[in-house]
Chain A
């Protein structure tokens, strides 16, 4: 793992019932690489609970694909169990990497809760809210990072360098407009200093849809982004998380 200048002190891992093990693993690695503390946040999505209260609410289970009635009480019990499971896994990962950690459970709107919690973090890792479950596997796949020239983008590069496995490809996406501002030279210098091989890609517009499409196209294992205004748009963030097919790391 490349050595980077460490400015990140607090990492937030925000997960809902999707139990994204890749996100958890990435957060733990980041905590180790950046020598940061780890804060786990399990969000009991109020929308999910509202769904369960609907008269026709049913769920299709994984494994044996069966349909069954979704009930609020049972859902709450299962969410508690899930939170406990996540807590254990986080404790295990933090102990393995010898990093300090905390864990909290909140109930609320998923994106609102993330946004609130992210205020106290330097960097936050978001699991994928829907889609098929993923095994915890890291290494080998490329890490896609957006560099838009902001201060947060520098943190994003640091995080990406910390996450990129030795020999793994680091793909730096530079928006067209940033290229025009000669950002390419800056990022080159930044990467040269880090000593990690990287490839630069240009992107027309650094919006959620394009970034998610880019991550899918490059079969990225992680997507690292600097926090921007667009992220404050709940629908944009939701779309990014849903379509990116990989955990998203956001640097502030």
Chain B
């Protein structure tokens, strides 16, 4: 087996040659673009938008910052222009059932027109009706009708009085009615005098009085009928007068809406209601019964509440709902406080985003939608029913049964586009059966693309697009090349480019800023580099603090010399959008035991399941390689020194295995190296994540202490294609002051680390005695024998001792 050698400097960084671009600056690019590498997502989007059947709504997924929102919105706006503008909608009063306002459909832009015309009509009515009713003609007409009633009453009472007078009887008003009494000398006869009258005269008087009373009774019975008749005549007169004042105004308005039968019907109802309730327009008038009115009168019921107004909409609407609460989505009915109670009417109906987007497109963020109570349920209900029904949450949940408004539902023809991450998509698909029914199309945004020649060109187009859209300075070709390289670093793959638009756009903006501070008219590579460096600088306070702790020997990391059972592992810490590598000392100790490898992190519950898995694999590796002919008689302990937090992942398993082999075989490990990589049971080294950060993390420590050419990092061979290391590392490697060594097997790693060949087993399975494996094997045999001798000694003692339980 050959000992692996370090990588050449050019393998540590995949450069982008600026000369491959045929432009000087991005200003020269004729076809800038806003997005790259999303062919699959865009085709899904086009398909979903084009599909008309119900349920073909879209879920656009991908991590935040991919440009989903702007891509979707721009595409929808383009498609929306080709579609017809949907109708306006207004809520109007239902004069028969005011608690159920009616929805009125109007051609686009006509809602506001109708509202204004109704306002104007009300103003006209408010002037015309009082004028008609305050006129002397009307008043004298009413007076005449009322006087007729008075005269009629007076006449019958006068006639009755005269009739009584003829019989020397007088009509009296009592507190509760009327009574008749016989007179003597123009005065009411006293009971004594009456008793003295002849019986015949008494009977005659009584009969006359009885007769008069009967006539009076009939008269009084007639009075309510006469009053009713008078009221009806006055009401009829009111209707006639009102109609003369209202009719021509309504007719004039009807001419404007001749082709809209629903509006004509509504105006007819308005006319009928105005005529029937004409007193509401009379500020200080009197009705037929002489009762004064209280002013001002509420004329709200004639208003038009335009809830969807497309006067300024060209094509179909595209609505993005930033705060998708249930009420913002489906609309609500507001209330106002009035004399200590909350009241409402149809003018307080407020539209939701569904109203505004009906006939077009609605864009919502999945996370926001799902975190708002009942918003998701409300959206699904509307999509299933194809209508927008405004219901309060209390009513929807049957929490309250208060009588309130029930606005007529508005038909819904809508394409909903939900933007979210993949996890939410799969959770919804798994747990909500309605989701698959209503969101049949998924548009999945790709996180990276191949770093091909063409795609590098597309990157240049994207940079040009962002620069023009955001009015940034043009980027020269070197700057573009540097952005391409950074695009690879962001996805940790020298052969890929990120499609994370926000990261790219942020970098471009910041590079532009640095160019501006330098008064440069063009953004160059140094400005891009300055932007990258400053991003790292802003985010690296904790990294710098930890590295300082290492330099001051508070955190123990050796970068020179050799130690048995001690190795430098590498981990990655992610804080926000910044990740950095951090060396950690891993130690292994061994003693006699039963073949166990104890992960101390796991014992104290600081190790995650993946880390534990890695350690268990080590046990399996040891058993498979060294315990074919004898049992493993060791007890090994592994620990991340000075670690006080959670450890997870298996990227330290190669380092742990090397430390363990060093401890068993008594072979010192060179501390100038750090190791990263996971191993499988067969000793193969597997790739890990964060390789660039890890290398740079150890490099920074070594550079701070002085690079001696003996330092470096062992990485899985499979990670070589991920290398996009920073300039200092590449330069140090080129100067032979730092090494990055790829390893494919654990034997390669231990050979480099110990400077001792790992050794290969011969046909009988024996290892060369001076090899790492040979020394490990020898030590394990020794431990097995020791253990066996202890066991035999123990058995002998046990045989000599009769023991308490044996007979």
Interface residue ranges, A against B (CB under 8 Å): 16-19, 45, 47-48, 50-62, 65-67, 70, 75, 78-79, 81-82, 129-132, 135, 137, 140-141, 216, 219, 234-235, 242-243, 245
Contacts and interface: CB of A to CB of B under 8 A. Distances in A.
B209 A56 contact: yes
A52 B219 CA distance: 22
Contact of B157 (A67, A79, A132): A132
Contacts of A62: 176-178, 220
A51 B188 contact: yes
A75 B174 contact: yes
A129 B191 CA distance: 23
A15 to B, nearest CB: 11
Interface of B is mostly: helix
Contacts of B191: 50, 53-55
7 contacts: A47-B187, A50-B190, A51-B188, A61-B177, A62-B220, A130-B161, A132-B153
B171 A54 contact: no
A131 B173 contact: yes
B152 to A, nearest CB: 10
B472 to A, nearest CB: 78
B770 interface: no
B213 to A, nearest CB: 6
A59 B154 contact: no
B172 A130 contact: yes
Contact of B194 (A45, A54, A65, A82): A54
Given A59-B179, A65-B217, A140-B143, A70 B188 contact: no
B221 interface: yes
Contacts of B370: none
A61 B221 CA distance: 10
B150 interface: yes
Contacts of A219: 143, 147
Interface in B133-182: 139, 143, 147, 150, 153-154, 157-158, 161, 170-179, 181-182
Nearest to B209: A56
Nearest to A70: B179
B299 interface: no
B189 interface: yes
A131 B220 contact: no
Contacts, number: 113
B213 A243 contact: no
Interface of B: 139, 143, 147, 150, 153-154, 157-158, 161, 170-179, 181-182, 186-191, 194-195, 205-206, 209-210, 213, 216-221, 223, 290
A36 to B, nearest CB: 26
In the A-B complex, the 10 residue pairs with the closest CB atoms: A65-B220, A51-B181, A78-B175, A61-B177, A59-B179, A18-B173, A47-B188, A65-B221, A50-B188, A132-B153
Nearest to B176: A61
Contacts of B188: 47-48, 50-51, 54
Contact of A54 (B186, B189, B290): B189
A60 B187 contact: no
B175 A242 contact: no
Nearest to B216: A60
A75 B175 contact: yes
Contact of B171 (A50, A57, A78, A130): A130
A130 B173 contact: yes
Nearest to B175: A78
B201 to A, nearest CB: 13
A219 B170 CA distance: 25
Residue among B139, B150, B174 having the largest count of chain A Cβ atoms under 10 Å: B174
A67 B209 CA distance: 12
A60 B173 contact: no
A65 B215 CA distance: 11
Given A58-B179, A78-B174, A78-B175, 18 more contacts: A18-B173, A50-B189, A54-B181, A54-B194, A55-B191, A56-B209, A59-B178, A60-B213, A65-B220, A66-B217, A70-B174, A131-B157, A132-B153, A137-B290, A140-B143, A219-B143, A219-B147, A234-B186
B779 to A, nearest CB: 118
Contacts of B170: 47
Contacts of A48: 172, 174, 179, 188
A243 B158 contact: yes
Contacts of B147: 219
Contacts of B174: 17, 48, 59, 70, 75, 78
Contacts of A19: 175
B177 A57 contact: no
Given A55-B191, A140-B139, A60 B161 contact: no
A45 B158 CA distance: 21
Nearest to B187: A47
Contacts of B171: 130
A55 B194 contact: yes
A62 B178 CA distance: 8
A19 B209 CA distance: 24
Contacts of A141: 143
Contacts of A54: 181-182, 188-189, 191, 194
B175 A60 contact: no
Contact of A131 (B154, B182, B190): B154
B223 A132 contact: yes
Contacts of A79: 175
Contacts of A52: 179
Contacts of B178: 59-60, 62, 130
A60 B290 contact: no
A129 B173 contact: yes
B173 A17 contact: yes
A51 B172 contact: yes
B184 to A, nearest CB: 11
A109 to B, nearest CB: 8
Contacts of A58: 179, 209, 213
Nearest to B289: A135
A245 B150 contact: yes
B170 to A, nearest CB: 8
